[in-house]
Chains A and B, each alone.
Chain A
Amino acid sequence: MPSSIKKKSAIKPSVRLPFFGCVVSCGFPSPADDYIEKKLDLNEYLIDKPSATFFVRVAGDSMIGVGIHPDDLLIVDRSKEPRNKSIVLAVVNGEFTVKRYICRNSKITLKAENPAYQDIVIVEGMQFEVVGVCTNVIHSLK
Chain B
Amino acid sequence: MSTPRVPSPATPLVFALVDGNSFYCSCERVFNPSLNNQPVIVLSNNDGCAVSRSDEAKALGIKMGDPLHLIKDIVKRNRVRVYSSNYALYGDLSARMMSTLAQFTPEMEVYSIDEAFLSLDGFGSRNLTEYAREIRRVVRRDTGIPTAIGIGPTKVLAKVANRVAKKKNKNDGVLNLCDPATQEEVLHALPVEDVWGIGARSAAKLNRVGVRTAQQLRDANLDAMQKLLTIIGRRIVLELRGESCLALEMIQEDRKQIVCSKSFGRPVYTLSELQEAVANYVTRACEKLRRQDGICHTMSVFIQTNRFKDGPQYYNSRMIKMDAGTSSTVRLSAAANRVLEQIFREGVEYKKAGVILSDICPSASIQFSLFDDQRQHSQDAKVMKVMDAINARMGRNTLKVGACGSPSPSQAPAWEMQAKMRTPCYTTRWSDLLKVK
Contacts and interface: CB of A to CB of B under 8 A. Distances in A.
Interface string A65-98: 0000000011000110000000001010011111
A45 B76 CA distance: 49
A36 interface: no
Contacts of B99: 50-51
Contact of B436 (A13, A49, A74): A74
Nearest to A78: B142
A57 B33 CA distance: 17
A20 interface: no
A131 B34 CA distance: 14
B129 interface: no
Contacts of B143: 51-52, 78
B386 interface: no
A98 B435 CA distance: 10
Given A13-B393, A54-B427, A91-B33, A79 B141 contact: yes
Interface of B is mostly: helix
B36 interface: yes
A62 B437 contact: yes
Contacts of A94: 33-34, 36
Given A95-B33, A96-B33, A51 B142 contact: yes
Interface centre among A52, A62, A89, A127 (most CB of B within 10 A): A52
A87 B34 CA distance: 22
B33 to A, nearest CB: 4
13 contacts: A49-B142, A50-B99, A51-B95, A51-B142, A52-B142, A54-B434, A55-B427, A57-B434, A59-B435, A59-B437, A95-B34, A96-B33, A127-B36
Given A57-B434, A95-B33, A98-B437, 6 more contacts: A51-B99, A51-B100, A59-B437, A94-B34, A95-B34, A97-B437
**7 nearest A-B residue pairs (beta carbon):** A94-B34, A52-B142, A60-B437, A59-B435, A57-B433, A51-B99, A91-B33
